[in-house]
């Protein structure tokens, strides 16, 4: 296996695991009915890190997608490497669209 491929795979795996951990942490810290206070008809919401954790998880996933698109040669659209067959190029573009 090429050293570049190993490095990119480890970076992508790390970003995926990190975003999964942040997503599960956000889910675990979200507000429930029992954590919202009600005082004289007004609901008081305590501070919660769920939104920040979810946004960070989404950012890590977007960074991973961008890294993969750049290193992968834009799914054969950029013609930076050997010209792929038309079928492989179409499959690559379809997979890239579904991954976003």
State both tokens at 50: 């769920």
Assigned domain for 99 exists: no
- Judge whether 81 lies within some domain: no
Q: Rg of the chain's alpha carbons, rounded to an integer?
A: 20
pLDDT of 94: 75
Identify any residues that bridge with 44 across adjacent strands, giving them in sequence order: 37
Q: Is the Cβ–Cβ distance between 67 and 12 less than 8 Å? A: yes
Question: Each residue of 41-53: pLDDT tens digit?
Answer: 888 888 889 999 9
Q: What are the tokens at 69?
A: 């698109």
Q: Is residue 62 part of a domain?
A: yes
Supply the range of the domain harboring residue 23. Answer: 3-73
Report yes or no on 92 lying in a domain: no
| Count of beta carbons in the 10 Å neighbourhood of residue 96 | 17
The Cα 1–Cα 3 span in angstroms is: 6
For 19-76, what is each residue's pLDDT tens digit?
999 999 999 988 888 888 888 888 888 888 999 999 999 999 999 888 887 776 655 5
């Amino acid at each position: 296996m090429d050293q570049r491929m190993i490095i990119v795979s480890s970076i992508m795996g790390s970003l995926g695991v990190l975003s999964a951990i942040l997503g599960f942490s956000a889910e675990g810290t979200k507000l429930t009915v029992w954590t919202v206070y009600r005082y004289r008809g007004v609901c008081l919401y305590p501070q919660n890190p769920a939104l920040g954790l979810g946004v960070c998880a989404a950012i890590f996933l977007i960074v991973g997608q961008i890294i993969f698109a750049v290193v992968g040669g834009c799914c054969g659209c950029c013609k930076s490497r050997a010209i792929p067959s038309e079928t492989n190029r179409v499959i690559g573009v379809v997979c890239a669209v579904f991954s976003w």
